[in-house]
Structure 1
Amino acid sequence: MTTVMWGAVLGGALGAGLLLVVTRLRVLGRAQLSDRVLPYVRDLPQVAPTAAPSRHPAPPLVGAAVAVYGPVLRALADAVERVLGGATSVRRRLERAGLDLTVHDIRVEQVVWGLVGFGVTAAWGLLRTLGGGGNVVGHLLICAVAFTLGVLARDTYLTSQVRARERRILADFPTVAELLALSVAAGESPVGALDRVVRRCRGELSRDLGRVLAEIRTGDPVGVAFDRLAATTGVPVVARFAQGVAVAVERGTPLADVLHAQAADVREAARRELIESAARREVLMMVPVVFLVLPVTVLFAFWPGVVGLSLSAP
C-alpha cells in the first residue's frame, strides 16, 4: 500500500471514531424521561436537596467509551484490577474525593487513559515507520510503556482529587463551625443548627454534613452519624470536629464553646502553615533574582564600558 492509501485508511478510521463519539455524546446529553416527567407528577414526594449530597459523575467521554466498547473495557478493567489490586485503597480514596464511582468504574477510566496514551504513541510510531525511521519492536515497547503510564496517571489524578477536596474542606471548616456555634448559641438544637447551616452553605464540607443530616433524619442517632463521618473522612480536623459534636450531644457538654475553639484552632493552623510555606519558598523566590535580574543588571552596567573599549582600541 502506498502512503496515500495509508493516509486514506487512517483518515477514514479517525472520522468513523469521531462520528461514533459525537453520536454517543449527543445521546448522553439528552434529558432522561424521568427528568422530563417527574416535575409534572405532583403527587410523588420530592427528595430534599440536602438529603443526598451532589457527587461528581464520570466524564462523558468515558461514559461514551463504555457504552460503545463496554465488554472489552470491562475485561481490560478486570485485568488491571488483578494486576494492580488495592481495591480497598481505591474505594477509600473515592469516598474521600466525593466521587460517585465504584472501583470498577475507576479501573475502566484507567483503561481508557491507558488506551489514549497507547493510541497517541501508536499513531506517532506508525507515522515514523511509514517515514522509514525506527523499528516496530521499539515502537511496540513504547506503546506498552505509554499504556502503563496512562493507567498510573489516572490513579495519581485520583489522589490529587482527594487532596484538592480536602483543601477545600479545610478552607470551609472555620466558617461552617462558626455558623454552627452561632446557631447553637442562639438556642437551636444541634440537628436544627445543622439543617440551617447545610441549607445556607455551599461547599464540600456542607455536602458531607448534608449526608450526616440525611442519616439523622432516617433514624440514626446523632452521635452515630457523626461518628460515621469521623471514621470516613480523611481530614483530621473534621474527624475531631465530628467526634467533639458526638461527645457533646451524648454527654450534654456546651457545644458552642467546642465549635468556637475548633474553628480558632483551624485558623491558627492555616496561618502557621502559610508562614511555613512562605519560609520554604523564600529560597525559590531568589532564583529569578539571581539567575535573571542580576545578570541583566550586570550586563547593563558593564556593556557600555565594553563597547567604549572596543571603539577606542586602535
Structure 2
Amino acid sequence: MTAATWGGVLGATLAAGLMLVAVRAVAWRRTPLTVRVLPYLRDLPRTSPGVPSAAPGPPTSVVAAVYGPPLRSAAQTVERVLGGTASVKRRLERAGLSGTSVHDFRVQQVLWGLAGFALAAAYGLLEALTDPGGALASAMLCLVAFAAGVLARDNHLTGQVRARERRILAEFPTVAELLALSVAAGESPVAALDRVVRRSGGDLSADLGKVLAAVRTGEPVPSAFDRLASASGLPLVSRFAQGIAVAVERGTPLADVLHAQAADVREAGRRELIEVAARREVLMMVPVVFLVLPVTVLFAFWPGVVGLSLTTP
C-alpha cells in the first residue's frame, strides 16, 4: 500500500466517524417518545423516586451515547473471558473504590486495552509505510497490546490495594492510641470513635467513619466491627476490629486492648523494616562493589603504574 492509499483510508475512516457522531448527536437532541407520551398515560403505574426505572436514562453526552453500548458489550466479553467477579469486587472494596462496580472496572479495562491497541496500531502504521509486508505481525502486535492493556489495569488495581494497605498501616498506631486515650478519658466507644473520625483523616478513618455510620443507623457495635474485620485484608486491622467487638460485647477494658493493638502494630512495623533492610542488603552492596571499590583500587594502583612507566628505560 502506498502512502496515498493509506491517506485515503484514514481520511475515509475519519469522515465516517465524524458522520456517525453527527447523526447520533442529531438523534440524541430529539425528545424521546416515552417523555412525550408518558404524561398522557395516567393508567400506568408511576415509579417511586427511590426505585430506579426499568428503562435506562438518556446518556449524558454524545460520546457516551455513541461509544457507550460497544464499550459495555466489550466489558461483558472481558468479564466472560476473565471471570473472577468476587475477587475483583473484594479488591475494589480494599482499594477504597466501593463506588465503582465490577462492570465499571471492566469498562476501564477495555479502555486501557484500547489505549494499548491504539499505540500498537500507530506503531504498525509507521512500520507499514517503510515495510508493507508486515501486516500480520502488526495485527498480532495490536492484539497483544490490547490484552496487555487489560491486564495492566488489573495489576494497577492490585497496586492500589497495596498502596492503600500501606497507608492504613501507617495510620493505625496513631488512630488506635487516640481511641485508647478517648476511652480512658471516660467516653463511650461510639463517642470515642466519633471524636477520632472527626479529628483525623485518611483511609483508616474513612473505614471507621463507615462503621460509625452503621452504628448510628442502629447496627450493634460488635456487628459493625465484625463486618470491618471481614472486609479488611490486613490481619492487624482484622484483629483490631475483632478485639474492639469482643471488648464491647463482653465488657473487658477497651483502653488496654487498644494500647496493646497499637504496640503490636509498631512492633510489626519494626520487624518489617528489619526484614526489608535484610533483603536490601545485597542491593546496598552493589554501588560499593561496582563503583566505590574500583575507584579505590584505581587510586591506589594508578600512581604506581605511572611511576613504573616513567622509570622503565
TM-score (norm 1): 0.79
Confirm or deny: 8 A CA contact 1:66 1:73 kept in the other structure.
no
SS at match of 2:100: coil
Name the CA shift for 1:210/1:294 in 2 (closer, same or farther; >3 Å): same
Confirm or deny: 8 A CA contact 1:128 1:134 kept in the other structure.
no
1:139-218 equivalences in 2 (<5 Å): 139-218=138-217
SS at match of 1:249: helix
Confirm or deny: 8 A CA contact 2:2 2:129 kept in the other structure.
no
Report the Cα offset of residue 136 of structure 1: 0.5
Q: Larger Rg: 1 or 2?
A: 2
Report the Cα offset of residue 67 of structure 1: 6.1
Confirm or deny: 8 A CA contact 1:121 1:142 kept in the other structure.
yes
Confirm or deny: 8 A CA contact 2:3 2:129 kept in the other structure.
yes
Matched, 1:136 2:135: yes
What is residue 91 of structure 2 aligned with on the other side?
93
In structure 2, C-alpha distance between the alignment counterparts of 1:192 and 1:159, rounded to whole Å: 35
Confirm or deny: 8 A CA contact 1:226 1:242 kept in the other structure.
yes
Higher RCO (CA-CA < 8 Å; seq separation 6+): 1
What is residue 114 of structure 2 aligned with on the other side?
115
1:98 maps to a residue whose letter is G
Measured against aligned partners, the alpha-carbon deviations of 1:241-284 in whole angstroms (never above 9, x if no partner) come to: 11111111111111000000000010011011111111111111
What is residue 36 of structure 2 aligned with on the other side?
none
In structure 2, C-alpha distance between the alignment counterparts of 1:148 and 1:238, rounded to whole Å: 35
What is residue 290 of structure 2 aligned with on the other side?
291
What is residue 24 of structure 1 aligned with on the other side?
none
Name the CA shift for 1:294/1:115 in 2 (closer, same or farther; >3 Å): same
**Unmatched 5+ stretches in structure 1:** 21-62
In structure 1, C-alpha distance between the alignment counterparts of 2:303 and 2:3, rounded to whole Å: 58
Count the aligned residue pairs: 269
1:3 maps to a residue whose letter is A
Confirm or deny: 8 A CA contact 2:211 2:225 kept in the other structure.
yes
Report the Cα offset of residue 3 of structure 1: 3.0
In structure 1, C-alpha distance between the alignment counterparts of 2:279 and 2:309, rounded to whole Å: 45
Report the Cα offset of residue 228 of structure 1: 0.7
What is residue 246 of structure 1 aligned with on the other side?
245
In structure 2, C-alpha distance between the alignment counterparts of 1:277 and 1:299, rounded to whole Å: 33
What is residue 3 of structure 2 aligned with on the other side?
3
1:130 maps to a residue whose letter is L
Report the Cα offset of residue 305 of structure 1: 4.3
Name the CA shift for 1:5/1:136 in 2 (closer, same or farther; >3 Å): closer
What is residue 73 of structure 2 aligned with on the other side?
75
Further displaced range: 268-277 or 290-299: 290-299
Name the CA shift for 1:7/1:280 in 2 (closer, same or farther; >3 Å): same
In structure 1, C-alpha distance between the alignment counterparts of 2:234 and 2:178, rounded to whole Å: 20
Report the Cα offset of residue 312 of structure 1: 5.8
SS at match of 2:218: coil
In structure 1, C-alpha distance between the alignment counterparts of 2:121 and 2:308, rounded to whole Å: 59
In structure 2, C-alpha distance between the alignment counterparts of 1:65 and 1:310, rounded to whole Å: 77
In structure 2, C-alpha distance between the alignment counterparts of 1:301 and 1:10, rounded to whole Å: 66
Name the CA shift for 1:86/1:175 in 2 (closer, same or farther; >3 Å): same
Aligned Cα RMSD in Å? Answer: 2.6
1:83 maps to a residue whose letter is V
Name the CA shift for 1:155/1:267 in 2 (closer, same or farther; >3 Å): same
Further displaced range: 136-145 or 126-135: 126-135
1:221-300 equivalences in 2 (<5 Å): 221-300=220-299
Name the CA shift for 1:139/1:5 in 2 (closer, same or farther; >3 Å): closer
1:93 maps to a residue whose letter is R
In structure 2, C-alpha distance between the alignment counterparts of 1:126 and 1:227, rounded to whole Å: 56
Confirm or deny: 8 A CA contact 2:222 2:249 kept in the other structure.
yes
Further displaced range: 296-305 or 256-265: 296-305
In structure 1, C-alpha distance between the alignment counterparts of 2:87 and 2:304, rounded to whole Å: 66
Identity level (%): 72
In structure 2, C-alpha distance between the alignment counterparts of 1:296 and 1:134, rounded to whole Å: 51
Confirm or deny: 8 A CA contact 1:223 1:247 kept in the other structure.
yes
TM-score (norm 2): 0.79
